[in-house]
């Protein structure tokens, strides 16, 4: 019988976690209940509610400031006296948008030197000490950029302080821990694509609400972000449950240094051809996606003259399309399979940069964004589910950390490369509109490479390796120097 998500259930997060660790009621073959594979999106969402609430608070904290930060930073690089919120298409603001894209790329390149290894290390660490300690640290760090923006707004501190602090906080990368937590709460492989899509859909809805809230004046939004920071810290400390499946044996075998964790992550990604090719798809698509995201801001503000309120409207339209895309994920993967769904998503991604380059006003850009953003977003939960289903429960943190590391590296390199490319090809925003075709076509080409690799993937995922467990004495003797084969054995035991 399908379980309803009642108010009493929501107040009992520990019960949710215990149900997830035991397995969803109804999944047992001897039970007369509904099979887990037929669970509705609402039931999946009920299991994910501890994580959804946390991500909602984080979305409020950062999202309510995002539209204002874009124009504050553009005005800063445009020079003293510039107001790019009121006049984004002025010559000074065009130069400011190009400079912002360039310097953001440099700062992201700095972030990559730390975050690519922190993603792996923290993902694996969460398998040993639990997810919650890392959420605590992230909650505290997330308040630092808000504090620096407050000092800039009310104390006259240079905006460089905000940019530097934000770069440092971004280096503490725990994106893989979020995905691993979702895998903790939804253990059935057949439901994980729907679970990740539900998580993304919930986040998009919350971001849409936050976008409407962000229409308030900038200083009011700043006060709301400060309040949200306190709520995030309170929720993590007092409410968020621990979801990691910890054991003394697995913890003892994973007390290795960061270099060994990186080696284990590399072994995991090279476990078989399917995993390796999927990792390449992630790298190429995230490189292109991050690059196109960098280009959208200077193109829309500098060439199309999009104001702050219009930008919020465009983000709302794009978010609505992405929400529909996450809602389509479960029926699409059920009908076509995960591999075909991935190909469909990548095809939409190939077309999107071309559509952006051909847009000469806000109207066409909004239409193209609504039509193509939804299909594009499908690749994210599908790839996350593919990777999660190929590894054991006690490897989820390591695997998702490794994937996050790939995403971080690709994103940082893309922001640096595309920021430089846009600045060069547009002559710092002073060249005609046709100059944007070069960087956008570069992004489309990278998506096409990912699509070609996806066309070679089999329709059916390979079975995870299941070698026999080694003798206890052999396991103990090999703890100090884990090998790729031992990593495979850990994954098999998790399955």
Cα 137 to Cα 121: distance, rounded to the nearest angstrom: 14
DSSP structure string for 428-458 = TTTS-GGGGHHHHHHHHHHHHHHHHHHHTS-
Model confidence at 11, pLDDT cuts 50, 70, 90, reads very low
Cα 244 to Cα 472: distance, rounded to the nearest angstrom: 24
For the residues 31-50, what does the mean pLDDT come to?
Answer: 62
Model confidence at 477, pLDDT cuts 50, 70, 90, reads very low
Between the alpha carbon of residue 337 and those of residues 276, 349, 352, 383, 460, the distances in Å are 19, 19, 23, 12, 8
Q: What is the pLDDT of residue 405?
A: 72
Model confidence at 16, pLDDT cuts 50, 70, 90, reads very low
Model confidence at 108, pLDDT cuts 50, 70, 90, reads confident
Q: Over the chain, what is the mean pLDDT?
A: 77
Q: Is the pLDDT of residue 190 over 50?
A: yes
Digit-coded pLDDT (tens) for 240-291: 888 776 544 444 444 445 556 666 666 766 766 777 888 889 889 989 998 8
Nearest Cα to Cα of residue 138 among 118, 120, 155:
118
Is residue 106 within 8 Å of 100, Cβ to Cβ?
no
Cα 201 to Cα 353: distance, rounded to the nearest angstrom: 23
Cα 155 to Cα 132: distance, rounded to the nearest angstrom: 34
Flag the least confident range among 220-224, 248-252, 481-485.
248-252
Which of the given ranges, 105-114, 456-465, 476-485, has the highest pLDDT on average?
Answer: 105-114
Other Cβ atoms less than 10 A from the Cβ of 18: the count is 11
Digit-coded pLDDT (tens) for 389-439: 766 666 666 666 777 777 777 877 887 788 889 888 988 778 888 899 999
Please state the φ and ψ torsions of residue 208, each to the nearest 5 degrees. Answer: -65, -40
The token duo for 487 is 């990593």
Radius of gyration in angstroms for the set of CA atoms belonging to the chain, rounded to a whole number? 23
Q: Is the pLDDT of residue 25 over 70?
A: no
Digit-coded pLDDT (tens) for 327-356: 888 888 888 888 899 999 999 999 999 999
């Amino acid at each position: 019988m399908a379980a309803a998500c009642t108010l009493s259930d929501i107040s009992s997060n520990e019960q949710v976690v215990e149900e997830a660790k035991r397995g969803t009621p109804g999944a047992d073959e001897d039970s007369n209940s509904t099979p887990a594979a037929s669970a509705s999106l609402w039931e999946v969402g009920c299991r994910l509610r501890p994580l959804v609430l946390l991500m909602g608070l984080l979305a409020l904290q950062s999202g309510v400031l995002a539209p204002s930060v874009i124009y504050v930073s553009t005005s800063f690089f445009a020079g003293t006296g510039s107001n790019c919120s009121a006049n984004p298409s002025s010559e000074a603001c065009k130069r400011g948008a190009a400079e912002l894209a360039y310097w953001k790329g440099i700062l992201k390149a700095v972030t990559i030197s730390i975050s690519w290894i922190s993603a792996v290390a923290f993902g694996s660490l969460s398998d040993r000490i639990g997810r919650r300690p890392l959420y605590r640290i992230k909650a505290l760090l997330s308040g630092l950029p808000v504090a620096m923006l407050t000092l800039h707004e009310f104390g006259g501190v240079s905006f460089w302080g905000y940019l530097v602090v934000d770069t440092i906080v971004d280096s503490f990368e725990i994106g893989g821990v979020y995905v691993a937590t979702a895998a903790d709460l939804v253990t059935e492989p057949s439901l994980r694509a729907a679970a990740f899509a539900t998580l993304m859909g919930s986040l998009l809805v919350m971001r849409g609400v936050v976008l409407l809230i962000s229409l308030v004046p900038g200083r009011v939004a700043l006060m709301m972000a400060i309040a949200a920071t306190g709520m995030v810290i309170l929720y993590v400390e007092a409410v968020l449950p621990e979801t990691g499946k910890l054991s003394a044996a697995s913890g003892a075998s994973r007390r290795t240094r960061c270099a060994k964790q990186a080696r284990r992550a590399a072994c995991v990604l090279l476990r078989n051809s399917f995993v390796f090719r999927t990792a390449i798809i992630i790298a190429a698509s995230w490189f292109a996606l991050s690059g196109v995201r960098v280009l959208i801001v200077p193109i829309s503000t500098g060439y199309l003259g999009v104001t702050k309120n219009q930008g919020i409207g465009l983000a709302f339209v794009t978010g609505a399309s992405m929400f529909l895309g996450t809602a389509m994920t479960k029926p699409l993967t059920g009908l076509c399979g995960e591999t075909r769904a991935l190909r469909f998503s990548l095809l939409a991604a190939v077309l999107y940069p071309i559509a952006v380059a051909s847009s000469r006003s806000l109207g066409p850009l909004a239409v193209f964004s609504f039509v193509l953003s939804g299909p594009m977003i499908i690749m994210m939960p599908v790839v996350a589910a593919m990777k999660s289903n190929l590894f054991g429960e006690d490897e989820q943190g390591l695997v998702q950390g490794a994937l996050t590391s790939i995403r971080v590296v690709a994103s940082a390199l893309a922001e640096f490369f595309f920021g430089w490319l846009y600045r060069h090809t547009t002559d710092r925003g002073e060249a005609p509109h046709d100059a944007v075709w070069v960087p956008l076509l570069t992004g489309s080409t990278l998506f096409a490479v990912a699509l070609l690799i996806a066309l070679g993937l089999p329709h059916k995922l390979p079975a995870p390796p299941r070698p026999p467990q080694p003798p206890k004495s052999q396991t103990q003797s090999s703890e100090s120097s884990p090998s790729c084969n031992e990593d495979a054995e850990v994954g098999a035991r998790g399955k």
